[in-house]
Structure 1
Amino acid sequence: MAKASSKSSSKTEKGIAIDIGISAKDREAVAHELSKMLADSYTLYLTTHNFHWNVTGPLFNTLHDMFMTQYTEQWQALDEIAERIRALGHYAPGTYAQYGKLASITAPTDVPEANDMVRFLVKGNEAVAKTARAALERAEEAKDAPTVDLLTRRLDIHEKNAWMLRSLLQ
């Protein structure tokens, strides 16, 4: 059995050392950035689902279906992000209070018109992409390849979603 180095291992809540080749300090920093990503992603998920339920107007079918596709994909991603935080040895945030402190985006307070929903979701997807980039930078510094991979995939999806939504407004 390999000797655990104090630089890359730490105690978890059960006292079992984590020794995955990433220091405790780096794991904590990456988990914090992923927590911001989770908060932004959850806020965007909830907003997209809300808009799916409440969209009206001539683009109803198009937007209703598009929003459902996007919120369904986002729902699956939430679990993947949270599980990566756990794999790094930290608890994933899971309350609205925690998300309110961590998120860079806020949910709308009313039900906007369809075009305003689209604009809001463009900005929301772009905000999540910015959060993902910051987390990606931190994960690269820590040489955390699984997190880099996760964030690269999320960037691709959110940038594509923003493009598709933006195209509806042109």
Structure 2
Amino acid sequence: MKIAIGITAENRQAVATELTKILADETVLYTKTKNAHWNCEGADFYDKHKFFEIQFGQLDDVIDQVAERIRSIGHYAPATLQSYLSLTHLSEKITEDNSSKAFIKELLDDHQSIIIILRGHIMLFTADYQDAGTADFVTGLMETHEKMAWFLRSHLNN
């Protein structure tokens, strides 16, 4: 059935292409947060184990929302690990240090990187692709990552 939502097919394709990259980043970050949850060691293990559990739960919701946004504009969401690794800008690097501080620093860097990318997409989606709905959606994602980054940052002594 024809999609008639006020966005051209070309613009919907361009938006979907960018959203698939965001979906890949979110999925890789989710996996890295699971890694921290499972493999964190130290005297603060239990607290950080629970903290990382909350964070990967939030990311699970984000992943679902991004995939559903892709579907709502008429495209299919990638759903293989291979596709995520080819689309993400994040590193799958695993630290040798399983301390909570090492995991938090790495996850914080990834969140901040995603925030910068999302911020850049807001105007792109509105101005270039006439898709205010996706721009608003991405603004919400950015705010979620800003809060998650704040929580991570709060665990570090600077």
After TM superposition, is the score higher than 0.5? yes
Tell me the distance in 2 between the aligned counterparts of 1:97 and 1:134. 26
Which is greater in Rg?
1
Tell me the distance in 2 between the aligned counterparts of 1:70 and 1:111. 21
CA shift for structure 1 position 118: 0.6
5 Å-filtered alignment, 1:1-170, equals 16-109=1-94, 112-114=97-99, 115-141=101-127, 142-170=129-157
TM-score by length of 2: 0.90
8 A contact 2:29–2:110 mirrored in 1: yes
The one-letter code matched in structure 2 to 1:39 is A
**3-state SS of paired residue (1:168):** coil
**3-state SS of paired residue (2:154):** helix
TM-score by length of 1: 0.84
CA shift for structure 1 position 143: 3.0
Stretches of structure 1 lacking an aligned partner (at least 5 in a row) = 1-15
Pick the structure with more helix per residue.
2
Q: Number of matched residues?
A: 155
Deviations 1:74-99 (A, max 9, x none): 10111110111111111111111111
Give aligned-pair identity as a percent.
Answer: 37
Tell me the distance in 1 between the aligned counterparts of 2:89 and 2:45. 28
